[in-house]
Amino acid sequence: MVTYVKPLVAHIVRIPTDEALPLQYWAIDGLPRVNGKRQRKFFRTKDAAERELATVKKKLRKEGEKALLIPDGLRIEALDCRDRLKPYDASLKDAVSFFISHHEARKKSCSVQAATDEYLKLQKLNQRSERHIGDLKYRLRTFNATFGPRLISELSVHEVEGWLHGLEQSPKSLNNFHTAVSALFSFAVKRSYASSNPLNAIDKVRVPAKAPGILSPVECEKLLNAAGSELLPSLAIQAFCGVRSAETLRLKWSDVDITRGFVQVAAEHAKGARRRLRCLRISKSGSWLTRIGPGSCGREAIWSFTATLRQPARTQASANGLRMRCGIPTPAIIWHSIKTPQRSRCRWVI
């Protein structure tokens, strides 16, 4: 009995192999396996199969010569790396591709401090408000105190999350830091300084909902009566017109038309960069605003240009001091009690 042994090299076979049966096609067998699977190529004519076989043998011969040039140490290292990658279902090619992309990202990256400086410079070029840029500077300065010299592409989700929750701030403040740092990483991704934004994988903190503090008509009247020339115009405009506190900081007396009953918020001063007019109840606010005007206070701006009152945080502190002197226990932030959503509760003061 003769045993048929399949050759170990590529060869042509007739299908079916029994020559007594009609020929269907010719095939090239003995090709290298791919992922453990047998590989064959089929042809209608023997000539086509022989031409393809010659090409295959030439290719296998070249690859065999290259294989002989691999040092024993490199071959052993490749086998070891293959075994170590097997639990992750990754190949040597996957590992090399990942390393190259990571290394290229490192070459394009920069330090956190350099990315921050460039980002803040871009915010100025984009005509962001001074208050917005000031808030970014404060929050990113805190971030740079920890990660400034590090490459921004090297920071991991766990590092940033650990820093964020280690600030020991209120939930609202933590979310504000989250927003500022996320904006920095989004900028870095656009500039190819980082491959991803780790803040996308970090959830914001849940902020408990609190009922807004609302001044009663009596409290609002007491507040306006006690306000000095620095605070009275803005308080009256916010109470009877509903202009945002940050926008009030930028108003001028020329924007206030008491006669026709409106306040103009110019586009360059508005939060949404769109000009709008706010209705001013003349019968209610006129007496308060005519007490302190540009003629009596000697300035064009609604707010004083002193360092104390031009900064929003210090302005808020001055208003809170007024609230405490008037014996008004709540709310914690006076502005939230008299701007747009609640102005209907305090417009009948006078």
Six token digits for residue 223? 């507040």
pLDDT tens, position by position, 234-259: 777 777 777 777 777 778 878 887 77
pLDDT tens, position by position, 64-77: 756 656 677 887 88
pLDDT tens, position by position, 301-348: 666 544 343 455 556 667 777 777 777 765 533 444 444 444 433 333
The residue among 164, 163, 147 whose CA lies nearest residue 112 is: 147
**C-alpha–C-alpha distance, residues 285 and 293, integer Å:** 13
CA dihedral (290, 291, 296, 300) positive or negative: negative
**C-alpha–C-alpha distance, residues 281 and 9, integer Å:** 97
Contacts of 113 (CB under 8 A, 6+ apart): 144, 148, 149
pLDDT at 178: 95
Has this prediction a pTM greater than 0.85?
no
CA dihedral (123, 125, 126, 128) positive or negative: positive
pLDDT at 342: 41
Contacts of 284 (CB under 8 A, 6+ apart): 240, 347, 348, 349, 350
- Cβ atoms within 10 Å, residue 198: 18
Contacts of 99 (CB under 8 A, 6+ apart): none
The pLDDT of 128-143, averaged and rounded, is 90
pLDDT tens, position by position, 82-98: 889 888 888 888 888 88
Which of 111-120, 202-211, 301-310 has the least mean pLDDT? 301-310
**C-alpha–C-alpha distance, residues 55 and 267, integer Å:** 73
| CA 104 to chain centroid | 22
**C-alpha–C-alpha distance, residues 238 and 300, integer Å:** 18
- Say yes or no to pLDDT of 128 above 50: yes
pLDDT at 185: 94
The residue among 25, 29, 48, 49 whose CA lies nearest residue 39 is: 29
pLDDT at 289: 62
Six token digits for residue 168? 């020991």
Are 290 and 272 within 8 A, CB to CB? no
Per-residue three-class SS string for 274-293 = CCEEEECCHHHHHHHHHHCC
Are 302 and 256 within 8 A, CB to CB? yes
Q: Give the ranges where the chain is alpha helix by DSSP (H).
A: 46-68, 72-85, 92-108, 112-125, 130-147, 157-165, 171-190, 217-226, 232-241, 245-248, 282-291, 294-297, 307-310, 312-325, 343-346
**% of residues, the chain, pLDDT over 70:** 77
* Residue where the block lists tokens 């405009």: 237
